[in-house]
Amino acid sequence: MRLIIMGAPGAGKGTHADIISKKLLIPHISTGDIFRSNIKNGTQLGVIAKEYMDKGLLVPDEITIGIVKNRLMEDDCKQGFLLDGFPRTIPQAEYLDKALAELDMKLDHVINLNVSDDEVVKRISSRRVCATCGMIFNTVNSPTKVEGICDACQGSVVQRADDAESTVRERLNVYHMQTAPLVNYYSTKGIVFEIPDIDGIEGKTELIFGLLGIA
Ligand code: AMP
């Protein structure tokens, strides 16, 4: 299956993408994770991406598209993929359409996670992430067993630099201006599943699995 997961920052894209990709045995491709890993490894791409990410802005399309292009050409994408955080602009979506058409592939579904701005700010301020394996925690509803230590790999669990409240507000502005219009773009193709912000991860997972027919 070829899927996109969309939603405002903090909507739970990473969490649900992980669950869905494991269930379907398809690669979870997160452009945010690719940028963060480049920042961690001190690559040239990481240096450029950090400048934008720290301000809550989008990394320019030509850079982001190049990365996704290379990733989609890898063998593991032949059986499907789940894109998380891409596309985020209309030009990125148009590129994706073109690239998939060239590969004689098409998107199956777009999963749109709905969440209010107030909830985003509340949720992101309590979000923590493992600096080693990327596992996501929340100090309120899914804390680590030992404070600051990852349950899965014992790495350090920290707050992302771009999860500071002022940066989150900027990311929300960018989301409403540049990314939200993509819901319409894909709705006209009739492939969007709207997921309401019901309580708990499990309820949403069940709903998504049901819609995808993989329950
Ligand atoms: P995420 O982890 O998906 O919330 O992404 C974190 C940050 O990485 C975003 O706020 C952007 O600065 C950058 N980023 C991730 N995906 C994209 C994309 N498709 N286009 C441009 N910038 C992106």
Sorted by where each begins, the domain ranges of the chain are: 2-116+166-212
| Contact indicator for 140, 33 with CB cutoff of 8 Å | no
| Numbers of helices and strands, H then E, in the chain | 9, 8
Task: Using the predicted structure, report yes or no on whether residue 123 has a pLDDT greater than 90.
Answer: no
Residue tagged active-site, from 13, 36, 128, 204: 13
What is the second-level CATH architecture of the domain 2-116+166-212? 3-Layer(aba) Sandwich (3.40)
Sign of the dihedral through C-alpha 44, 47, 48, 50: positive
| Contact indicator for 136, 156 with CB cutoff of 8 Å | no
Return the higher-pLDDT residue of 35 and 104.
35
Question: In ligand 1, which atom is closest to the CA atom of 56?
Answer: 10
- What the block records as the tokens of 184 is 């319409």
50 is catalytic: no
Q: Which residues form the pocket of ligand 1, taking CB atoms under 6 Å from any ligand atom? A: 9, 31-32, 35, 52-53, 57-59, 64, 85-86, 88, 92, 162, 171
Determine the 3-state secondary structure of 43 from DSSP.
coil
Q: Average model confidence (pLDDT) for the chain?
A: 94
Determine the 3-state secondary structure of 59 from DSSP.
coil
Q: For the whole model, what pTM was predicted?
A: 0.89
DSSP for residue 163: G
Tens of pLDDT, residue by residue over 46-57, are: 999 999 999 999
Tens of pLDDT, residue by residue over 184-200, are: 999 999 999 999 999 88
